[in-house]
């Protein structure tokens, strides 16, 4: 038996992949450990989206070098691997800069892990960053039932990977490759397997999840809306979510699913990035601010209580003060329940990185502070408006204080209640008593449903 420690950075795709790496290495005798110190194999599953994220890898490798040396002195071998998007983007550079690294492999090669690790174990330094033609999902082993149970009631399921959109600021099309949809049968089989082992909430994930399409059993081309209807039929699946969506790929069928499917939770992450049409065009987003607002209107007509979330970039090259105000106006117009916002970070190899008119760092900081102040106010308002309502909460874990348990509302808010721990894993009605900026407090308002052992 050997011990595996995986550290995950970045988005849900990486979180999903980290579990798949553990599953792929289980047959080779690896069990996961929560401690890096006693691991035989350390994998850093990295993110390249912004400079700060990518830099974390090198500082972490610095720490690991000391650990590996100590372990070596004790006569123990510790292997170190870098996976994920930094591995894909700068694999050779990692090997050059960090001799502590034994293996570098990109997101498309995780099904080959037992072989890669065996080669490194024999003393080779291995780089695997070519995209193999075969579909990695077809070759990845399934999670063992006890593993699925251990991971809890909620699960991610990758349905789409990669991106063909080429926003001018973004590295994803280069680190994750072209858009690929997983076939319907594979997705349904994985969903049934998860549900059969206690999972009651599945979040479908993909860089552009709403671009998913696949051949249906009726001979037609299915899109995400049809897929959601199909998954809602899987026994035991009480809740469905999907993320992240591109505004260009929200089709009528998907919007109608928010009206028609009870299992589809009223929460949608729909990044817009900016509110100025000139900036949106320079970002290559292929829509205007007005297009986005119309889309939001159609989604709200289908599901009036939907909680909207977004991503924003401030200080994209050439963004003027007036153009930034257009972002503020768009946020005012939409009213978000939750959001992420970032300072533009120039990424090597992307078109915008070479633009001459980069915005000064101090200016970016000012804009970010103003935007975040507005978004936080909106989030607080959304949460406060929930006070007094009864919402279904999927209880997932013990709360921060003893005697409390915590879970998620349909709107993805964190909710704490005082209740016995045996309600963890069930969906219970909760009356919201008070609301903070980041979580809600409530009390049990009746008997639970949806729990299955
Ligand atoms: N596919 C998703 C986003 C994936 S990246 C979409 O199209 O919306 C997640 C978020 O990181 C993006 O929405 C964007 O807001 C942010 N981001 C991506 N590249 C960035 C960069 N170079 N600088 C700052 N933020 C960036
Ligand atoms: Fe990046 Fe744009 Fe693709 Fe999203 S749609 S992953 S922001 S290139
Ligand atoms: Fe980061 Fe790669 Fe995800 S760059 S955001 S881990 S797709």
- pLDDT on residue 344: 98
State in Å: Cα 262 to ligand 1 middle. 30
pLDDT for the residue numbered 450: 52
What pLDDT sits at residue 449? 62
Stretch 189-201: mean pLDDT: 97
SS (H, E, C) the chain: CEEEEEEECCCHHHHHHHHHHHHHHHHHCEEECCCCCCCCEEEEEECCCCHHHHHHHHHHHHHHHHHHHHHHHCCCCCEEEEEHHHHHHHHHHHHHHCCCCCEEECHHHHHHHHHHHHHHHCCCCEEECCCCCCCHHHHCCCCCHHHHHHHCCEEEEECEECCCCCCCCCCHHHHCCCCEECCHHHHHHHHHHHHHCCCCEEEEECCCHHHCEEECCCCCEEEHHHHHHHHHCCCCCCEEEEECCCHHHCCHHHHHHHHHCCCECCEEECCCECCCHHHHHHCCCCCCHHHHHHHHHHHHHHCCCCEEEEEEEECCCCCCHHHHHHHHHHHHHHCCCEEEEEECCCCCCCHHHHCCCCCCHHHHHHHHHHHHHHHHHHHHHHHHHCCCCEEEEEEEEECCCCCEEEEECCCCCEEEEECCHHHCCCEEEEEEEEECCCEEEEEECCCCECCCC
Task: State the chain's mean pLDDT as an integer.
Answer: 95
Percent of the chain with pLDDT over 70: 98
Looking at the CA of residue 207, tell me the nearest atom of ligand 1: 1
Cα–Cα distance between 424 and 128 in angstroms, integer?
41
Contacts of 382 (CB under 8 A, 6+ apart): 307, 335, 336, 337, 338, 411
Nearest C-alpha to atom 10 of ligand 1 is from which residue? 311
Q: In the prediction, which pLDDT does 453 show?
A: 35
C-alpha 409 – ligand 2 centre gap (Å): 28
176 lines ligand 3 (CB under 6 A): yes
Give 86 Cα–ligand 3 centroid separation in angstroms.
Answer: 9
Asked which of 28-42, 128-142, 390-404 is least confident by mean pLDDT, the reply is 128-142
Residue 263 CB partners (closer than 8 Å, separation 6+): 231, 232, 237, 238, 239, 240
Mutate to test the pocket of ligand 2, among 164, 166, 175, 207 (most ligand atoms within 8 A of CB): 207
pLDDT tens per residue across span 257-280 = 999 999 999 999 999 999 999 999
Q: Ligand 2 within 6 A of 165 CB? A: yes
Tens of pLDDT, residues 148-177: 999 999 999 999 999 999 999 999 999 999
Region 332-354 average pLDDT: 97
User: How far away, in angstroms, is 450 Cα from ligand 1 center?
Assistant: 35
Rounded to an integer, the average pLDDT of 192-208 is: 97
Atom number of ligand 2 nearest to Cα 311: 7
Question: What pLDDT score was predicted for residue 355?
Answer: 95
Our answer on whether the CB atom of 49 is closer than 6 Å to any ligand 3 atom is: yes
85-115 tens-digit pLDDT: 999 999 999 999 999 999 999 999 999 999 9
| Predicted local distance difference test score (pLDDT) of residue 395 | 96
Record the tokens describing residue 121, joined without a space.
Answer: 């174990």
The ligand 3 atom nearest the CA atom of 207: 7
Distance from the alpha carbon of residue 162 to the mean position of ligand 2, in angstroms: 9
Give just the sign of the alpha carbon dihedral 193, 250, 165, 315: negative
Q: Which ligand is nearest to the CA of 51?
A: 1
Q: In this predicted structure, which of 332-341, 356-365, 438-447 has the lowest mean pLDDT?
A: 438-447
C-alpha 217 to ligand 2 mean position (Å): 30
For the chain, the residue count is 453
Integer Cα distance of 104 and 91 in angstroms: 6
The reply to whether omega before 244 is within 30° of 0 (cis) is yes
Ligand 2 atom closest to 207 (CA): 6
Cβ 110 under 6 angstroms from ligand 1: no
**208, 243, 340, best to mutate for ligand 2 pocket (most atoms within 8 Å of CB):** 208
Q: What is the pLDDT of residue 436?
A: 86
Residue 139 has a pLDDT of 83
Q: 207: Cβ below 6 Å to ligand 2?
A: yes
Which of 242, 283, 313 maximizes ligand 1 atoms within 8 Å of its Cβ, making it the mutation to test the pocket? 313
Distance 334 CA to ligand 1 centre (A): 19
Q: Residue with the nearest Cα to atom 3 of ligand 3?
A: 11
Q: What is the pLDDT of residues 433-443, one digit of tens each?
A: 999 888 999 99
Q: What is the torsion angle, in degrees rounded to the nearest 10, for the CA atoms of residue 46, residue 50, residue 53 and residue 55?
A: 100
Q: Say yes or no to pLDDT of 447 above 80.
A: no
Q: The dihedral of CA 385, 388, 390, 392: what is its sign? A: positive
Position 452 scores a pLDDT of 44
Q: Which tokens go with 47?
A: 């993110």
Neighbours of 197 (CB within 10 A): 18
Residue nearest to atom 1 of ligand 3 (CA): 47
Residue 134 pLDDT > 80: no
Of 446, 411, 414, which is closest to residue 430 (Cα–Cα)?
446
360-393 confidence digits (pLDDT tens): 999 999 999 999 999 999 999 999 999 999 999 9
For 40-72, the pLDDT digits (tens) are 999 999 999 999 988 999 999 999 999 999 999
CA 274 remoteness from chain centre: 21
- Rounded distance, CA 265 to CA 427, Å? 13
Ligand 1 centroid to 433 CA: how many Å?
35
Rounded Cα gap, residues 381 and 332, in angstroms: 12
φ, ψ of residue 239 to 5 degrees: the values are: -135, 135
Per-residue pLDDT band for 130 (boundaries 50, 70, 90) equals: confident
Q: Which tokens go with 141?
A: 């082993």
């Amino acid at each position: 038996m050997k011990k595996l420690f995986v550290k995950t950075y970045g988005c849900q795709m990486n979180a999903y992949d980290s579990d798949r790496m553990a599953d792929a290495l289980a047959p080779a005798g690896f069990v996961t450990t929560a401690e890096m110190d006693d691991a035989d194999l350390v994998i850093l599953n990295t993110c390249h989206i912004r400079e700060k994220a990518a830099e974390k890898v090198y500082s972490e490798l610095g720490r690991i070098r000391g650990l590996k040396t100590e372990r070596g002195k004790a006569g123990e071998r510790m292997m170190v691997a870098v996976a994920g998007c930094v591995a894909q983007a700068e694999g050779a550079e990692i090997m050059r800069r960090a001799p502590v690294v034994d293996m570098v492999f990109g997101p498309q090669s995780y099904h080959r892990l037992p072989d890669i690790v065996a080669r490194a174990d024999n003393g080779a330094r291995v780089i695997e960053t070519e995209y193999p033609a075969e579909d990695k999902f077809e070759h990845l082993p399934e999670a063992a039932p006890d593993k699925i149970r251990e991971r809890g009631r909620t699960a991610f399921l990758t349905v789409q990977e990669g991106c063909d959109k080429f926003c001018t600021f973004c590295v994803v099309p280069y680190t994750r490759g072209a858009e690929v949809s997983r076939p319907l049968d594979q997705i349904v089989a994985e969903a049934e397997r998860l549900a059969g082992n206690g999972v009651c909430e599945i979040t479908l994930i993909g860089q552009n999840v709403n671009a998913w399409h696949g051949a249906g059993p009726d001979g037609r081309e299915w899109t995400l809306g049809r897929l959601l209807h199909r998954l809602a039929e899987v026994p035991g699946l009480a809740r469905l979510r999907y993320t992240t969506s591109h505004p260009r790929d929200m089709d009528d069928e998907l919007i109608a699913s928010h009206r028609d499917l009870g299992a589809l939770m009223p929460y949608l992450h729909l990044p817009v990035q900016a509110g100025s049409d000139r900036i949106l065009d320079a970002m290559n987003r292929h829509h205007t601010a007005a297009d986005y607002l119309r889309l939001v209107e159609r989604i709200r007509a289908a599901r009036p209580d939907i909680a909207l979330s977004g991503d924003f970039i401030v200080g994209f090259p050439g963004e003027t003060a007036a153009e930034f105000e257009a972002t503020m106006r768009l946020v005012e117009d939409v009213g978000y329940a939750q959001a992420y916002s970032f300072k533009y970070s120039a990424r090597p190899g992307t078109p915008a990185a070479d633009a001459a008119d980069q915005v000064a760092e101090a200016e970016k900081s000012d804009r970010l502070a103003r935007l975040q102040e507005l978004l936080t106010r909106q989030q607080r308002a959304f949460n406060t408006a929930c006070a007094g309502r009864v919402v279904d909460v999927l209880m997932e874990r013990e709360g921060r204080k003893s005697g409390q348990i915590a879970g998620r509302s349909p709107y993805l808010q964190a909710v704490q209640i005082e209740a016995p721990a045996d309600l963890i894993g069930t969906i219970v009605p909760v009356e919201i008593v008070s609301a903070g900026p980041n979580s809600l407090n409530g009390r049990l308002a009746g008997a639970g449903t949806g729990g299955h052992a």
